[in-house]
């Protein structure tokens, strides 16, 4: 009877409510897909650590209406085919009630396709290519802004402070990098900035000097780069070696905000500016507390990727508490009705332009000053005065 009862319970609930076996158990399982190994592992690490920290807090406060919340975290290795495979495993074998995570846009797009095909809700916390929420996929929800909106906070800084006339754009040839480059071109057109060159590259390269020599010859006012961590670090190190000195180096978020960026780039990271989606000094409930707890626990700073993951965990918990049952359709409905303030900002899914189930948020500007990531724009929220103009040769020790 001990073996029969759980099976009968699960079958009964599945037939009556469409709810998976999770309701008979004392736990609720959610699948989280992140890059824990491979070139994007540092992003996956900071997000996993934030998910873990939030999960402990959620369960300490009673979990999901008395049930323990469990995150089954799978490594996508930064590859779409692996992401697709682990998503299918989480759905078919582990019987998770929903999916979360999603770092790189290429992997996130693949996982989103699996989620939609299987009619399993998927809450994305990072993967930002616009097309992910432009497919009409009603089981896919995204918390962070699309990459086309990353530079919106940067535009006023360029207009009011830098006032550049020319720009070069360097970007990874990925969904994230390609769309980000196109969007920044539009920003440049709006601001009257002439784009002298927009150059894509394959990630993981070891020699950017040929393209950087071209950039030096063009002598642009700004160099805008959309890169993951290792490429961002190498681009800046080799710019320093070549004494490439535009008025400003600007990152399109991603690798330019991670704590590892100044460690990897060394002196070349100092005074680099970047778009960002979050900073701990923003007037958001719990933002500074999250930053302090993370630093105390892991002995390092966190930034917007970690804040996204931490907040996504709380959105998942909120959704599961409100859902009428753990059936996919009831969870999807609860996601649609989400209206929650998190440390990352407000979360409410809306439809606009071609996008559906998309959260809308403000973006900001940060700068590496004295080895720390400081919020410099907008002025009324900044915790440091921006440094501009920059004497790059002096910064680099020449």
Q: What is the pLDDT of residue 284?
A: 98
Q: Is the pLDDT of residue 87 over 80?
A: yes
Stretch 302-318: mean pLDDT = 98
Instruction: Name the token pair of 69.
Output: 């919340």
Q: Is the pLDDT of residue 4 over 60?
A: no
Three-state DSSP class for residue 380: helix
Q: Binning pLDDT at 50, 70 and 90, where does residue 6 land?
A: very low
**pLDDT single digits (tens) 139-187:** 999 999 999 999 999 999 999 999 999 999 999 999 999 999 999 999 9
Return the H-helix or E-strand segment holding 29.
strand 27-34
Q: What is the pLDDT of residue 204?
A: 82
Kindly list the structural domains of the chain, giving each domain's residue range(s) and its CATH number in brackets, ordered by start: 4-145+284-358 (3.40.50.2300), 149-276+363-395 (3.40.50.2300)
Q: What is the pLDDT of residue 205?
A: 81
**pLDDT single digits (tens) 226-255:** 999 999 999 999 999 999 999 999 999 999
Question: Could you tell me what percent of the chain has a pLDDT over 90?
Answer: 93
Continuous H helices in the chain: 4-17, 41-60, 80-92, 105-118, 152-157, 175-191, 209-218, 229-241, 260-265, 287-298, 304-322, 328-336, 392-395
Q: What is the pLDDT of residue 203?
A: 86
């Amino acid at each position: 009877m001990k073996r029969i009862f759980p099976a009968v319970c699960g079958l009964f609930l599945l037939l009556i409510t469409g709810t998976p076996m999770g309701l008979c158990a004392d736990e609720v399982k959610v699948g989280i897909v992140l890059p824990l190994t491979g070139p994007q592992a540092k992003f996956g690490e900071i997000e996993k650590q934030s998910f873990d920290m939030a999960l402990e807090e959620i369960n300490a406060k009673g979990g999901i209406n008395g049930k323990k919340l469990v995150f089954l975290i799978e490594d996508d290795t930064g590859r779409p085919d692996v992401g697709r495979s682990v998503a299918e495993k989480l759905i078919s074998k582990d019987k998770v009630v929903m999916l979360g995570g999603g770092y790189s846009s290429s992997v996130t797009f693949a996982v989103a396709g699996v989620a939609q095909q299987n009619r399993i809700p998927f809450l994305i916390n990072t993967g930002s290519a616009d097309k992910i929420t432009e497919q009409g996929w009603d089981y896919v929800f995204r918390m962070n802004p699309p990459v086309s909106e990353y530079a919106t906070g940067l535009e006023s800084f360029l207009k009011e402070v830098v006032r550049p006339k020319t720009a070069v754009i360097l970007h990874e040839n990925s969904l994230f990098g390609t769309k980000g480059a196109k969007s920044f071109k539009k920003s440049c057109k709006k601001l009257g900035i002439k784009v002298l060159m927009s150059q894509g590259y394959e990630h993981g390269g070891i020699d950017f000097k040929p393209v950087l020599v071209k950039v030096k010859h063009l002598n642009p006012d700004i160099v805008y780069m959309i890169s993951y961590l290792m490429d961002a670090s190498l681009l800046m190190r080799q710019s320093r070696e070549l004494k490439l000195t535009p008025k400003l180096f600007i990152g399109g978020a991603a690798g330019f905000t991670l704590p590892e960026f100044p460690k990897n780039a060394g002196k070349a990271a100092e005074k680099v500016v970047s778009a960002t989606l979050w900073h701990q000094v923003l007037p958001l409930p719990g933002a500074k507390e999250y930053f302090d707890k993370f630093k105390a626990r892991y002995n390092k700073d966190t930034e917007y990727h970690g804040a996204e993951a931490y907040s996504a965990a709380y959105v998942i918990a909120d959704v599961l508490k409100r859902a009428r049952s753990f059936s996919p359709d009831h969870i999807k409905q609860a996601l649609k009705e989400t209206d929650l303030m998190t440390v990352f900002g407000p979360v409410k899914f809306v439809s606009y332009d071609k996008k559906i189930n998309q959260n809308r948020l403000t973006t900001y500007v940060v700068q590496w000053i004295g080895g720390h990531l400081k919020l410099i724009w907008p002025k009324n929220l900044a915790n440091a005065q921006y440094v501009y103009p920059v004497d790059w040769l002096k910064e680099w020790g020449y």
